[in-house]
Structure 1
Amino acid sequence: MNAFTESQRFHQWWIWTLLVAALLITTVPLLLTDAGKEPFAWGGPIVTLLVILLIYVWRLDTKIDEQGIHYQVFPVFTWRTIPWTSIQSATVTHYGWVGYGIRLGFDGWVYNIAGSKGLRITKKGNTIITIGTQRPDELQAFLISQQSLITT
């Protein structure tokens, strides 16, 4: 069996523009005035740099194979696996914009880096998890080719 794998990062230009602007807004005044001599004044730029570092390393990984659907949000949590035996359905869906990162929505957990399409997994017991994808057509084709793995 082949496996479907996808790794996503934040590549949106506007996110990086906002982060750089925030860094400039918090740093430039400290460099141009005497306020920069106060140690606590550098808290804003330090926090901004930590947020930039977090967004830079943040990654959503998905792997689908014969064992199940595996996903991780690095550096928040390591690999989690949903075995095929506990999956009622898995479909590619358009869910509209729900924000980025990890969200608990009306339909369960959503893990999203960009876009508005994702793999909607309904587990037995009706728990729903949605994992964003930037390759919905490839994912849909893979799920169709592996339909026998989902046991209902």
Structure 2
Amino acid sequence: MRSPPRNETGRSTPTDATFEERQRLPSWMGPTVLALSISPLAVTILVIIGENGVTPGSLAAIAAIVGPGLGVVPLVYWAKLRTQVRDDGVYFRFRPFHRSWRSIPFANIQRVRRDERRAFQYGIRWTRRGWEYRADANTGVEIDRIEGKPIFLGTERPHEFRAAIEAGVRRSGR
């Protein structure tokens, strides 16, 4: 049997994934963040201009406040959680927060189970139990690792995701 394609680090490439899913943050989140940002930013602009008038310093202060305030909106639209089960483990990447893929080798997986989390808690979170990565799903798969705390990966297809991980663990001889 031919070995799967490998990249320069020896890990399998995304083309040999047995499970793959792409999720975006909920569609209502971007407009909500924008709507909640406009009023405080408008008040801040009015206060700065009211105190100092339109000066280079006030324009710089406005830019320093408005830029980061509205800079969150494109992140919400661009954010995407990708999960894959490849020949050698589980891979995930929450763009733009991860610059590269994170992986959990099958040899490090102790137990996999379907689980649910509370609604409206999206993104990357550290909890007492471990890391959670969720885009637009309350259900997911919690992976108990031999080394390290568990990782929860949100998915809209938890049964399929869990089955792919368990099949990969069996194939790896664990």
TM-score where L is the length of structure 2: 0.71
The CA deviation string for residues 126-152 of structure 1, in whole angstroms up to 9 with x for no partner, is 621111112223324434655623655
Structure 1 residues 1-152: aligned runs within 5 Å: 3-13=18-28, 15-26=29-40, 28=42, 30=45, 34-35=49-50, 37=54, 38-39=58-59, 40-77=61-98, 78-97=100-119, 99-125=121-147, 127-143=149-165, 145-146=167-168, 148-149=170-171, 152=174
Q: Is the 8 A contact 1:84 1:149 kept in 2?
A: no
1:134–1:87 CA distance, 2 compared to 1 (3 A): same
Question: What is the letter of the counterpart of residue 17 of structure 1?
Answer: P
The whole-number CA distance in structure 1 between the counterparts of 2:109 and 2:167 is 16
Instruction: Name the % identity.
Output: 25
- Whether the 8 Å contact between 1:9 and 1:59 is mirrored in structure 2 is yes
**How far is 1:10 from its partner?**
1.2
Which consecutive residues of structure 1, in runs of 5 or more, have no partner in the other structure?
Answer: none
Q: Give the length in aligned residue pairs.
A: 150
Equivalent AA in structure 1 for residue 68 of structure 2: V
Give 1:28 shift.
4.7
After superposition, what is the alpha-carbon deviation per residue over 1:54-93, rounded to whole angstroms, capped at 9, x for unaligned? 1122111100022110011112221011111111112221
Find the aligned partners of 1:21 and 1:103 in 2 and give their Cα distance: 24
Q: Is the 8 A contact 1:87 1:150 kept in 2?
A: no
Q: Secondary structure at the match of 1:72?
A: strand
**Aligned-partner Cα distance in 1 for 2:41–2:170:** 56
Offset of residue 26 of structure 1: 4.5
Greater Rg over alpha carbons, structure: 2
Following the alignment from structure 2 to structure 1, what is the Cα–Cα distance between the partners of residues 156 and 107? 26
Secondary structure, counterpart of 1:17 in structure 2: helix
Give the TM-score, by structure 1 length: 0.80
Name the residue aligned to 2:4. Answer: none
User: Is the 1:63–1:70 Cα contact (8 Å) retained in structure 2?
Assistant: yes
What 5-or-longer segments of structure 2 have no aligned partner? 1-15
Question: Take 2:70 and 2:171, find their aligned partners in 1: how far apart are those partners?
Answer: 44
